[in-house]
Structure formats: C-alpha cells, structure tokens
Amino acid sequence: MTWITRTLISLLLIYIGIMVVAFLAQRKLMYFPSDVYVEPPAGWVEITGAAGTLGWHSAAQEGQPTVMVFHGNASTIASNIHIFQDLQAAGYGVWSVGYPGYPGNAGPPTQARLNAAALDQYKTLKETGAEKIIFYGTSLGAAVAAQLAAKENPEHLILDAPFNSMLDMTRLRMPVLPTRILLKDRWQSGHALKGLNTPLTWIHGTEDNVVPIAQGQKLYDSYAGPKSAHVLLGAQHTNTWQYGGREIVLDVLENY
C-alpha cells in the first residue's frame, strides 16, 4: 500500500467520522435550550395545553388581536419580554410559545415535538376565546410559525429573520457534508407555505450574520400570497425590534 493510498484512506475515515458525529450531534447543534426557567411577569398566566405543553398568556383588551410569539433556537419563553411589554402597552394579547426541551417543557427538542407543542398551545389559546390570532416568529421561531400557519391559517404571519429551510442553512454552514442525507429536522418553511394565502410580513436585518438576508429573501420571493418586505438597514439577527421592527409589527396589528 503506497503512502498516497494510506493518506486517502485516512482522509476518508476522518470524513466518515465527521459525518457520524454530525449526524449524532445535529440536534445539539440546532437547539440551544437554557436550563433556567423564569417565572412569568405580573399579569401573565402559565397555561398548560391538553397535550401538556406550557405557554405564557396575557389577555388582549376587548376587540384586539392576540399575537403568538415563537422564539428562536437559543432563546426561551421569556426572552422576548421587551416585545411582550410593547404589545401589551398597545392593548394586544400575547401568547409566548414554549418548546419541548426548553425551560418549562420536557424534551428533547425535535421538529415534530416543537410543531406538536405549537399546535397544542394554539388550540388552547383558541379555547380561551381568542378570535383574531397573529403569528410572529423570529429565526427558528419563524419556521415553527410557518409550519403552524400551514395548518391553522392565522390572520397574519410575521416572519422575523427567517430561513427558507434548515437544509439551506446546513449547506451554507457545512457545505462539504451530505446534509440532505444526514439532516433529521429540515424545517422547510418555503415548502410549508406553498398554497397559503395568509398575509405575510417579512422583516430582516442587513447585518444578520446568523441567518443571511438571502435566506429570508428566498422564502419571501417564493411566497405567492399577499406579502410585504421590510429590510432593516444595520439590524443584526436579534435586534430588528429596535431597528424598526416594533413599528412594523404595530402597524400590522392596527389593521386587526
């Protein structure tokens, strides 16, 4: 066996080893739950759905819509408290969606479990008497919101820093790996939204280095329903609310 052959075999074994590690650890690379559960603020209630998943709820003022907020993969049910406070101050209801594997809900987190939890909490919110429900998802939460929207058709769908699919994202981050074969949780938002006619608002920052704006643009361009795009100059992945996202969302809600 020549040194070239030995080198090629060694490289192949290393490559296979990397694939095995990526396959086994992929959900740890996708979901980053905190270990700390924070109690809801005053005026909020914890509500457990029929399927046992926990969400936070603050009721809307009479006649106002309720916003279901879907957080990102490294956030928690409490992470968007500044958004909740602004929505509450304007009279809107809020439901912060809790995910399996994240504080307050048993795990492990998977696409199927997150989708089931979102549906459970949506049905529970409907049982409280909420009639006008708007979905607002950020990052991974935009994918959860898109999956639920495909089933339940909300009044409006707001996607903040979304990706078109997790397949696209893994190809960007790990281009040398056969992610189409390896990936378990594909989060294909573009596919989920095909045929939907719900009004869609897309928000994305030009300086987003987590989910490239091209990913949001791809999702937006593929959507055939009524839609509006809002590209926020200078905004990064987690601060679009402070760069104009607040005003955009409140403008959307005023129409309901």
DSSP codes joined into one string, the chain = --HHHHHHHHHHHHHHHHHHHHHHHHHHHH----S---PPPTT-EEEE-TTS-EEEEEPPPTT--EEEEE--TT--TTTTHHHHHHHHHTT-EEEEEP-TTSTTS-S---HHHHHHHHHHHHHHHHHTT--SEEEEEETHHHHHHHHHHHHH--SEEEEES--S-HHHHHHHH-TTS-HHHH-S----HHHHTTT--S-EEEEEETT-SSS-HHHHHHHHHH--SSEEEEEETT--SS-GGGGTHHHHHHHHHHT-
Give the bridge partners for 202, in sequence order. Answer: 159, 229
Domain 41-254: homologous superfamily in CATH: Alpha/Beta hydrolase fold, catalytic domain (3.40.50.1820)
Q: pLDDT tens digits, the chain, 256 residues: what are they?
A: 686 666 565 555 566 667 666 777 778 888 999 888 988 988 899 999 989 999 999 999 999 999 999 999 999 999 999 999 999 999 999 999 999 999 999 889 999 999 999 999 999 999 999 989 999 999 999 999 999 999 999 999 999 999 999 999 998 887 877 878 889 999 999 999 999 999 999 999 999 999 999 999 999 999 999 999 999 999 999 999 999 999 999 999 999 9
Asked if 157 and 199 touch (Cβ cutoff 8 Å), the reply is: yes
